[in-house]
Amino acid sequence: MGLTLALSWLDQPADGQIAAVVKLLAAATAADGVEPLSEAAVLRLHHPGAGFVHLLAHDDTGTLTGYGSLDDRVERRTAEFAVHPAHRRRGVGGALLAALLDRVRGPLWVWAHGEHPAALRLAQRAGLVRQRELFQLRRALADPIAHRALPAGVALRAFVPGEDEAAVVAVNNRAFAWHPEQRRWDIGELVVREAQPWFDPKGLLLVVDPAGRLLGFHWTKVHPNGLGEIYVLAVDPDAQGTGLGGALTVAGLAYLREQGVRQAMLYVESDNTAALRTYHKLHFTHHHTDVEFLSLRDS
């Protein structure tokens, strides 16, 4: 007997629906060893915004079997979705993908986190084209961390909430002008993350020149499972090539180790050869790959 699915689009799920999605994502993470959605997509569950919509799939018993997130802004429409492990191999993933493609009816970017084999097969059947790879790298913090001095004349200090947001966003957007997601930050994106339980202003390290101008920052994050992250590392283009990036990286790793963190991770584009070279010198190794596919159909 075929599975009967009810698909519903929502601008903002209710609290009970959010709780059900969070449980589904936790089950998928436990089964796969990789989180099925990006942090940005999870944050959109709790913080509605223009252009973001949610897709829920329920079976005929009312059980949530799948969830999809769509950034429907015209510039770069992007989707992510997950299926509860207990309801896989029943067409739920195919139904979610078909609904996302039908809603957009144009180019759509679709993430497959961790290169899950079922997701790769589904993308192939749907005619999606592999366009982008994002590597997650990791390293043990018990291993030695090579010292790298800051450039002369600059100072390292902690972020001050309520004072430094505008400068951090400005440097972020200049440093990541090439990046499809990170370049679009505003102060609201920063404030949402400041409200998260993991946020620690002392873990957002700023480098300033003698006049107090922000040159770069290393935002560290400690996940609930104790894993540390190079969350955002940004150097203003005017300060690049000075050794600031390497020094900031080491300062952030040292900070994480001081917090008792045993392992650090980061994300880096697979074609960013300069960054990969830097991180490999710091003894980061490949952990897994997230893949972004593109649907090129016109309608």
For the chain, list residues with pLDDT below 50.
Answer: 1
Q: Quick check: do 5-133+291-295 and 143-261 share a fold?
A: yes
pLDDT of residue 2: 56
SS3 call for 117 = helix
> For the purposes of burial, counting CB atoms within 10 Å of the CB of 273, is it exposed (0-12), middle (13-18) or buried (19 or more)?
exposed
* Residue 22, pLDDT score: 97
DSSP 55-77: EEEEETTS-EEEEEEEE--TT--
> What does the alpha-carbon distance between residue 34 and residue 36 come to, in Å, rounded to a whole number?
6
Q: Phi/psi class of residue 43: alpha, beta or left (left: φ > 0; alpha: ψ in -120 to 50)?
A: alpha
Closest by CA position to 269, among listed 137, 78, 139, 173? 137
Q: Where are the domains of the chain?
A: 5-133+291-295, 143-261
| CATH ID of 143-261, from 3.30.930.10, 3.40.630.30, 3.40.640.10, 3.40.1180.10 | 3.40.630.30
Q: Kindly report the length of the chain.
A: 299
The half-sphere exposure of 115 on its side-chain side, counting CA atoms within 13 A, is 11
Please give the CATH topology (third level) of the domain spanning 5-133+291-295: Aminopeptidase (3.40.630)
Q: What are the helix (H) ranges across the chain? A: 15-32, 39-46, 92-104, 117-125, 165-175, 187-194, 244-258, 273-281
Question: Rounded CA gap, 278 and 244, in Å?
Answer: 12
